[in-house]
Amino acid sequence: MKLYKVAEQFAAWLVAVIVLSLLLVPIVMIVLTSLTPESFPTIPDGDVTLYWYSEMLSNTELMQALVTSFLVATCAAILSGIVGTVAAIGFVRSEISYREELATLMLLPLMISPVITGLAIIQFSSQADLPSGYPTLIIGHSILTLPYVFLIVRSRLVTFDDDLREASRVLGANGLETSLNITLPVISPTVISAMVISFVVSFGEFTATQFLIAPDATTVPVIIYTMLRAGLSPEISALSTLLIAIMVLGALISGAVTRST
């Protein structure tokens, strides 16, 4: 029996190692090829260099795309955080008919292909006479990230201790005061974590974004795709490594905030 448990644990560890290898090896290769001294992406066999990172930082177009991605992702995270939190509170606290069916509609941007979502947003922007560029990008990314905030905050509200709300009401606070002074402070770490996830999703969004960009507002994923059409380059690996670092940092922040709840 003991031998069986050891074999079971070994098999579990082996599967975990294989899965992690499949996930991490491509990422490690991107990082390594960004350090090559060659003019094409290859794993360095000796010397390593940060030359391609210097080239990336001196590329005005890439830096502008980074700024655009950062601004759009920040605005989208804030907007989706506000709207998603209010919507989650409303769906959990209200007694409206067909509540679950309406909540499912909030998840449509996750279920529909980003291509369709991008086309729908650009057609809406055209009909509403919204200027292209930042306004369209921010609205589009807010729509795409809203379901993440809604799902995460709603799941936290489902386990919320209603005795806290009842105590607040007994002490004379109205519904708005209870939400501002009790509900929001308790769920704020969850909201922050959801907004960080929204930022990461927005920063890496490509499929729908390619329909929403403008000459003066292009994001990093679109720039990478454009550069790839001209051929592989270690500069692309350097830029991809920077994106990986941003995504990992966002995941660490989200995990740290979640653990603090």
Residue 19 has a pLDDT of: 87
What share of the chain has pLDDT > 70, as a percent? 92
What's the half-sphere exposure (Cβ side, CA atoms, 13 Å) at 15? 5
pLDDT exceeds cutoff 90 at 214 = no
Q: Which residues of 208-227 are buried (b: 16+ CB within 10 A; e: fewer)?
A: bbbbbbeeebbbbbbbbeeb
Selection from 3-7, 23-27, 161-165, 231-235 with the highest mean pLDDT: 23-27
Mean pLDDT, rounded, for 207-219: 83
What is the tens place of the pLDDT at every residue in 101-148?
777 888 888 888 888 888 888 888 888 777 777 888 898 899 999 999
Quote the tokens at residue 133: 């560029």
* Amino acid, single-letter form, for residue 61: E
Domain 52-259 has CATH 1.10.10.10: no
Residue 76 has a pLDDT of: 94
C-alpha closest to that of 107 among 163, 179, 155: 155
Residues contacting residue 40 through CB under 8 Å, at least 6 positions apart: 232, 233, 234
- Residue 70 burial (C-beta neighbours within 10 Å; 0-12, 13-18, 19+): middle
Top-confidence residue, 216 or 70 = 70
Selection from 25-39, 78-92, 115-129, 176-190 with the highest mean pLDDT: 78-92
Q: Which of 66-70, 135-139, 227-231, 255-259 bottoms out in mean pLDDT, i.e. has the lowest?
A: 255-259
- Which DSSP state fits 129? T
d(CA 249, CA 255): 10
Residue 61 has a pLDDT of: 85
d(CA 253, CA 259): 10
C-alpha closest to that of 198 among 74, 45, 93, 58: 74
**Helix runs in the chain, H state only:** 2-33, 51-57, 60-93, 99-105, 108-111, 114-127, 134-158, 162-170, 175-178, 184-204, 220-229, 234-259
Residues contacting residue 222 through CB under 8 Å, at least 6 positions apart: 65, 206, 209, 210, 213
d(CA 167, CA 34): 57
C-alpha closest to that of 73 among 6, 119, 138: 138
pLDDT exceeds cutoff 60 at 44 = yes
What is the tens place of the pLDDT at every residue in 46-100?
788 888 888 888 888 888 988 899 999 999 999 999 999 988 888 877 777 777 7
Residue 77 has a pLDDT of: 93
Is 202 within 8 Å of 77 (Cβ atoms)?
Answer: yes
d(CA 101, CA 117): 20
Top-confidence residue, 169 or 71 = 71
- Which DSSP state fits 159? T
pTM, rounded to two decimals: 0.82
What share of the chain has pLDDT > 90, as a percent? 11
Strand, coil or helix: 217: strand
Mean pLDDT, rounded, for 225-246: 82
Residue 170 has a pLDDT of: 66
Quote the tokens at residue 234: 């270690």
To the nearest whole number, what is the mean pLDDT of the chain?
82
d(CA 181, CA 179): 6
